[in-house]
Amino acid sequence: MTEKEKCAAGLLYNANYDQELIDERIACKDLCLEYNGLKNSDAEGRRNLLLRIIGNIKGNICIEPSFWCDYGYNIEVGENFYANHNLIILDCAPVKFGNHVFIGPNCSFYTAGHPLDVQQRNEGLEYAHSITIGDNVWFGGNVVVLPGVSIGNNSVIGAGSIVTKDIPDNVVAVGNPCKVVKNIDN
């Protein structure tokens, strides 16, 4: 089993010393660097680069520079996706955003995690668990979403939150760790 296959299976894998994964990250980060250097007035160039970076774009998309991801091909975004400045997506596993997702500045989505065992960690081993974001979700600034988390439809994640566990539909959730503070009644 290759390191990439181990990663896809949710097993411990070696991302630091596997040449295939290293090469894929370098290629993606080169594209991100190019994207981040484009003028805001070059809307066509920005869209074309996003189409090369992100695995699946279903509609309108706007990501304000800077934007960084590990592989790109594990990212899927729905209709009307907007992310403000300094978006980071560590997409070792799939990261799926629904329709009408709005992300404030300085937000991060991390699918990668590392073992507690120091020997395994020092060997460069890590794991990756997917992140799923529903439709109509809004993230305030400086939110971090950790591996394996799902966030339900129509929910709001307050600024500065660290999301460690799943968040249901139709709620406002805030804090570190992020917790539901109220239901949203439409």
Domain CATH number, residue 63: 2.160.10.10
Is the pLDDT at 109 greater than 80? The verdict is yes
pLDDT at 185: 83
Name the domain count of the chain.
Answer: 1
- Choose among 110, 119, 120: nearest CA to 87: 110
Q: What is the mean pLDDT of residues 8-23?
A: 94
Find out whether 68 and 91 touch, Cβ atoms under 8 Å.
no
Q: What is the mean pLDDT of residues 73-100?
A: 98
Residue span of the structural domain in which 139 resides: 3-183
**In terms of C-beta distances under 8 Å and separation of at least 24 residues, what long-range contacts does 21-29 make, across chains too?**
24/71, 25/70, 25/71, 28/53, 28/69, 28/70, 28/71, 28/72, 29/68, 29/70
Active site residue 100: no
